[in-house]
Amino acid sequence: MKIGIDAIAFDVSKIHLPIKTLAEARHIEADKLEKGLGLKKMTLPDAHQDTVVFGANALTRLIKDNAIDLSQVCRIYIGTESGLDNSKPVGSYITGLIEQKFGENTLGHCDTVDFTFACIGAVDAMQNCIDFIRLNPNKKAIVVATDIAKYDLGSTGEYTQGAGAVALLLSQNPRIISFDTNWATSHKSVFDFFKPYRTISKFMITGNDDNYPWFGNLEGEIEIHKDQPVFDGQYSNECYIDRTNEAYAAFKKVSADKIPLDNWFNIIMHLPYAFQGRRMLAGLYAKEFGIEASDAAAVKEIAKSEGYKKFVSDKLAPAESASSLIGNLYTGSIFMGFLSAICEYSDNNIEIAGQKFGFLAYGSGSKSKVFEGTIESEWKTALSPVDLFGTLAKSHAISFEEYEGLHTKMKHNSVLEPKNEWVLDRIEHEKPNLEGARYYQWID
């Protein structure tokens, strides 16, 4: 039985900060970001957008563009590390909006849950749904990867920010790609990137040492939520390489393919920035092809070799194109990379049916999964509603002042007037039993 992706849709922010603008403001040489990391644009949420908005927009497009019968969809699983609530999942928000759009109780039978493991959460959700369909072949499932990658102003992660979502329809006999049953995992608990609870003494805020209530808080410490992570970029790169190499080695043991890296037509990796994959894979490339690489300096030389450059051009570059124009989508980046690659092949009239694609997924904290799939004969037809690069070309450039205003949440008006999309309408602050509830509406 073939199981995989039957349809795909996306939503990314319609505004971006040109990387050159950011580089100038931060006194960084633009070529280091553009040519060194592959960055061109950095998307960020407008004032009316959040994780739910991006996910609901992507899912709405998936349903409408593919005339999906929601009665056949038994799971809508969400991959995200940008949750809005410690109890109510993003999935319940999104399914609620879909029922607003397509009819009350349309999804009353449908299960939903959020998967969180940094950037690999949506891959976990997809693997779970594939197993479900294998047991229930007449059913369908949807995975939505939705995230906002936000870093502190002036940090080393600032230029990798991005915002958007990718939605996947999973079924038997898929039109786009079917996944093989061999999956391999490498997992180790580390602190390369995480978003901890942070606290500050109430005394530091109120100046009162008697622990009087402060906006309903009776504790001596106030918990602070930050979308921005605590991270160590260099260490995270090491963890990325280690987990990926370990998962790849495990995959080779369960696969009949002695050198998958060579035989995969295209390789899809998690891309925090466009060139991350090519920078991380040089060591594994050397090992697989018997090239001596005794230290980091030798690996750097291999990365400059003509052989490796051709390997990158043939197998990695097609997935990088969209990342250069969007930025990091966290859980969505690997699927946006896949969409980028197949859209490039479609736009250039390159037939890829029957070709094997390899996937090297990674999530900080840390875990990697390696798996593969075969492109199906109807892949190009299934892509016909998707205008990835045409949509990205219409993105609106904003000023550095607008960017900082949105980042610090001091700018409350949207840069672009929303149209044909979901928006965050309001957050309840008056009713005690609904304080913090988020309400959304569709704007025609």
d(CA 54, CA 425): 14
The C-alpha R_g of the chain, in whole angstroms, comes to: 22
Q: How far is CA 408 from CA 5, 45, 325, in A?
A: 38, 12, 23
124 and 264 together in one domain: yes
In this structure, the answer to whether residues 188 and 202 fall within a common structural domain is no
- The answer to whether residues 329 and 431 belong to one domain is yes
Whether 88 maps to a domain, the answer reads yes
**pLDDT tens-digit series, residues 70-107:** 999 999 999 999 999 999 999 999 999 999 999 999 99
Residue 212: band (very low, low, confident or very high) from pLDDT cuts 50, 70, 90: confident
Same domain, 211 and 66: no
Asked if residue 213 and residue 136 are part of one domain, the reply reads no
Structure token pair of residue 349: 């009239």
**Claim to verify: residue 175 and residue 213 sit in the same structural domain:** no
Can you give the pLDDT at residue 296?
A: 85
Judgement on whether residues 38 and 168 belong to the same structural domain of the protein: yes
pLDDT digits (tens, 9 = 90+) for 145-156: 999 999 999 999
Tell me the residue ranges of DSSP E strands in 39-92: 41-43, 73-79
Per residue in 161-173, pLDDT tens?
999 999 999 999 9
pLDDT of residue 211 exceeding 90: no
Give yes or no: residues 201 and 185 share one domain.
Answer: no
Are 241 and 355 part of one and the same domain?
yes
User: Which positions ≥6 away from 92 have C-beta within 8 Å?
Assistant: 112
Burial of 164 per CB tally in 10 Å (0-12, 13-18, 19+) = buried
Q: Collapse the DSSP code of 340 into the 3-class scheme (helix H, G, I; strand E, B; otherwise coil) and give the result.
A: helix
Is residue 134 one of the residues assigned to a domain?
yes
For the chain, give the mean pLDDT: 96
Phi, psi at 358, each rounded to 5° = -100, 145
pLDDT at 293 over 90: no
- The CA distance from 41 to 23, in Å, is 11
Do 178 and 382 form a contact (C-beta atoms < 8 A)? no
pLDDT of residue 220: 87
Residue 224 pLDDT > 90: no
- Is residue 310 situated within a structural domain? no
Q: What integer pLDDT is reported at residue 259 of this predicted model?
A: 92
pLDDT at 180: 97
Q: What is the CATH number of the domain that holds 394?
A: 3.40.47.10
Residues contacting 256, CB < 8 A, separation 6+ = none
> 208 CB contacts (<8 Å, ≥6 apart)?
202
Cα–Cα distance, 141 to 120 (Å, whole number)? 18
pLDDT at 205: 81
Please enumerate in sequence order all residues whose Cβ is within 8 A of that of 2, keeping only pairs 6 or more positions apart, or say none. Answer: 172, 173, 174, 178, 376
Name the burial class of residue 301, with classes exposed (0-12), middle (13-18) and buried (19+) by CB atoms within 10 angstroms of its CB: middle
Question: Does residue 222 sit in the same domain as residue 354?
Answer: no
pLDDT at 279 > cutoff 90: yes
Per-residue pLDDT, 214: 82
Domain co-membership, 152 together with 206: no
> What sign results for the dihedral spanned by CA atoms 92, 111, 180, 246?
positive
User: What integer pLDDT is reported at residue 183 of this predicted model?
Assistant: 98
Mean pLDDT of 407-432: 96
Res 236 pLDDT > 90: yes
Q: Please report whether residue 291 resides in a domain.
A: no
Confidence class for position 175, pLDDT limits 50, 70, 90: very high
pLDDT band at 429 (very low <50, low <70, confident <90, very high): very high
Does the structure show a pLDDT above 80 at 209?
no
- The whole-number pLDDT of residue 207 equals 81
Task: Summarize pLDDT for 417-426 with one digit per residue, the tens.
Answer: 999 999 999 9
pTM of the model: 0.97
Q: pLDDT tens across 52-70, in order?
A: 999 999 999 999 999 999 9
Could you tell me if 166 and 248 lie in one domain?
yes
Assess if residue 433 is contained within a domain: yes
Instruction: Report pLDDT digits (tens) over 379-406.
Output: 999 999 999 999 999 999 999 999 999 9
Q: Is residue 242 part of a domain?
A: yes
State residue 193's pLDDT score: 97
Number of separate domains in the chain: 2
Q: Is the pLDDT of residue 257 over 90?
A: no
Give me the pLDDT at residue 158, please: 98
What pLDDT, on a 0 to 100 scale, did the predictor assign at position 256?
Answer: 83
Q: 32 Cβ partners below 8 Å, 6+ apart?
A: 23
Does the residue 307 lie in any domain? Answer: no
> Per the domain annotation, does 360 fall within a domain?
yes
Asked whether 11 and 187 are in contact (CB, 8 A), the reply is no
- The percentage of residues in the chain with a pLDDT greater than 90, rounded to a whole number, is 91
Domain span including residue 207: 197-226
Mean pLDDT of 173-180: 98
Q: What is the mean pLDDT of residues 311-338?
A: 98
| CA dist., res. 153 & res. 285, Å (int) | 35
